Each structure stands twice: as C-alpha cells, then as structure tokens.
Amino acid sequence: MGDAVSVSPSPLVKFPFSHPDSFQKILILLDTATILNCRVVCTDWRDWFTASKTVWSSISSRMVARVLRRKIRTELEQVWDIRLDFLLEMVDECWTEEQEMTMAIRIERVTRQPIWCEFDDTLKVISQLHQAFYRGLMASPCVGPVCIFLRSKVAHPSVLKVMGETLARHVNCVIIDERDKEAGVVRQCLLRAMISCQQAPRWVFKDMDLGWLGEEEVEDVQQYQPEPEDCNDNQISDEPEELTPSKFSFSYILSSIFKLVSGLFSPLKLWRMLTTSQSDVMPVTTLEGDEEEDEEEKSSLYSTAPPPAHDLFPTVLELLDCDSPWLKNMLIKKAGIDKILVVPKFEEVTKHIKDVGAQFTIAG
C-alpha cells in the first residue's frame, strides 16, 4: 500500500489575510447575500469576517451610492425621497459594524422593493411641513406616513389582510419633532386635517435628536388625536390611559373638533401592503461547530435571529419588515404586534386553542 497523498491547502484559503485590500475590494462588488455566504467557504474566511471591523462600513457606502442612482417615475418621486432621506439619516447614525451591516442589507433590499403612493392628503401635509422647515419655521423635518417604511415578508392575501387590519390605525402616522409641537404651521396643518372630510393622519411626537436606531425613547411618544371609540377586535385594548388635557388647551380643542368630525364622517381606506419576496430576505448563515464556537457565533454580529414567539403561529412583528427599530418598537407599544398571532385559516386555531397563551391575541 502506497503512502497516503497529502493535499496541500489552496492559496485562496489564506487570501483574505494575505491580500486584505484586494479581498475587500472584491466584496464591495458583490451583493450582501453573497458576502454573507463567503463566511462559510472555510474557517479562515469566517475568522477574517469575525476579525474585520471595517468591511461593512465600506459595503454600506457602496450600497448608498447604488440606491442614489435608482430611477423613479415622476409621480413616485416624493414617496421615494421620503424613504431615501429616512434611510440616509439612519446611515449617519451608524457607528458599529453590526449597524453598518444591517443598513447595507436594508438599503440593498429597498432598491429591489416596489414603490407605491398611498394617503395622498397626508403626503400634501408632509410637503407643506417640509416647506415650512426649509423656511426655518420648524426645528426638524417631519417623517411619514409610516406605511412608506413598512413591508410584509409574506405575499399570502389572507396574511396581508390580517396585517393591514391590525396596523390600519398606525400606517397613516406623521412623526414630528417634539420641539415643533407648538409651531404655528403644525397647528394649522393639524386643524386643517381635523376639519377635513378625508382621513386625518395620526400625529406622533418624538425627540428627533435621539435618532431612529434606538428603542428606548418610545415611552415619550404622545399623540394629539384620541383613540376612536369603535375599537377593532384585532387590536390591543389594554393601553395605558393618557392624562386628560385642560379644557382650555390647544390639544383639548382639537380633540373636540375631531370627535365632532368623526361622528359625521367615517371614511375607510384600505392599506395596500406590498411584500418582500423570500429572496429579498437576506439569510444570516452560521457554521456548525463545538459549543465554544456556537457561543461565539451567538455573541457576534452574524448571530441568527431569535426563536419565534409562538411555536405554531407567527406574530405580526415576525411577518413585518420595518425600516427602523424605533418604528418597530412604536408599533409594539401602540399596537402590540409582538402579541398578535396571525392565523389565515381561523378554524385551525380551534385545534390548538390550549397551546395559545393568554398573552396572545388571535387575528385571522
């Protein structure tokens, strides 16, 4: 028997370490899914990704350059500009490699997603407020409507209907800086929307200085507009009661006008929730190994997603693709999307009623 033939490792195994600049230039030319798959080529490549602290910042800059070159039809330019400005603002907030990776994947996904125009009256209000900001009448530009920054991960019609009904009260939100709450132009737009026969947007105020990547500032969210009396069965009703404003305050007067108008008009507008195909959802790959490697993977920026909230049915949160962690946290607080189970075939839940905890609400 002859001696076993030893196979020398390929020079490409050490390529990321021997030629880091060339390797990183190649990565910049790839899409994010292919870049993530490069980690599973071999352990040396995986170790290079783990040790690298600048690869995703370079890729994120390249993705921004690509998204700026996207061609948009004239009638959709306003919606695209609103979403693009929102994403670019979050890019400026990134300071960790994990945030850079998340934004690179997000921006690339946005370039492949369709754009649609919804809530035309709200977009007119947004345009007026943006003009006021450029004239120096507001401290920060407003953001909205929220539906621009939301997509469904599933294209099933029943799932889209359930998610649309669950989020219907929140997709027409306009987010304004707390410092502009008493601005004259904001009051005028708010009063004009209240007395209009069209569906009035919901006004949410936040501290814009805290950015969109954080989640802790959601507790400070306030709204002028009160909750409608006819509550939907698919929505959480155990929200904390807000303090009653003074009868001589501006917010109390506007709330009274809204109650009067809502009794006269009850327009219903369905939100067309567009979807992200499964190929758009970038897989995060991990390698099998011993327990120490698994623990290292869990603590790295390439760790897998957390386990589902329920073993049988997904929540609205798990099916929702949201551009900002702050917006996602706002919907968790206001709509309870992390506790609403989506059941397209409602009769199926009767077979598993014992497996549904009391903390969940079933929507189907």
Q: What is the rounded distance in angstroms from the CA atom of residue 300 to the CA atom of residue 286?
A: 10
Rounded average pLDDT per 10-residue block, the chain, 364 residues? 59 87 90 90 90 87 87 88 92 89 90 84 90 92 92 87 88 91 86 72 89 62 42 38 44 48 39 44 43 53 75 88 92 90 77 74 78
- Asked whether 200 and 254 are in contact (CB, 8 A), the reply is no
pTM for the model: 0.72
Q: What is the rounded distance in angstroms from the CA atom of residue 156 to the CA atom of residue 139?
A: 42
Predicted confidence at residue 247, as pLDDT, reads 42
